Structure 1
Amino acid sequence: MGVHQWARQEIQRSLDAVDAQGFDHAMALRALLSAVVECSRAERTAADLAAELQFLAENLDDDRDYSLMRP
């Protein structure tokens, strides 16, 4: 199992726990994203983290074709 698959499984487990608590998925995902960004600040520069978040935000469209994809 790769790290991305592991992360997706962890998110699904978290969402299952969210359901058990009766929290809203969108709010829980925002909270998780905030927590991940906060923890990432200890490992990466703010500029590096901002660049990755910008890249992810600009590439949210699953139907878009890209000439170059990041691994």
Structure 2
Amino acid sequence: MSIHEWARREVAASRVRGEELGFDAVLALRALLSAVVEQNGTSRSSEDLAHELQFLADNLDSERDYSFMRP
């Protein structure tokens, strides 16, 4: 299992636990994201973290066609 697969499973399990506690799924995911960003900020610079978050936000669309991916 890759570290990314592990992380996806952890988030999915946390989301389920949050729903079992009566939390809205979207709010639970927002809270998890905030907690991850907060924890990340303890070991990385704000600038580095901001760049990574911007990259992730810019690449949310899985259907987007990137010129460097074309043959």
CA distance, structure 1, for counterparts of residue 37 and residue 12 of structure 2:
19
Partner of 1:29: 29
Q: How many residues of Structure 1 are paired with residues of Structure 2 in the alignment? A: 68
* Unmatched tracts of structure 1, length 5 or more: none
* Unmatched tracts of structure 2, length 5 or more: none
RMSD over aligned Cα, in angstroms? 1.0
Task: State TM-score, norm by structure 2.
Answer: 0.90
Task: State TM-score, norm by structure 1.
Answer: 0.90
CA distance, structure 1, for counterparts of residue 16 and residue 30 of structure 2:
15
Higher RCO structure, 1 or 2 (CA under 8 Å, sep 6+): 2
CA distance, structure 2, for counterparts of residue 46 and residue 58 of structure 1:
18
CA deviation profile, 1:12-69 (whole Å, cap 9, x unmatched): 110110121111011011101110010001111100000000001111111012226x
Percent identity reads 54
Point out the structure with max Rg over C-alpha: 2
Amino acid at match of 2:40: S
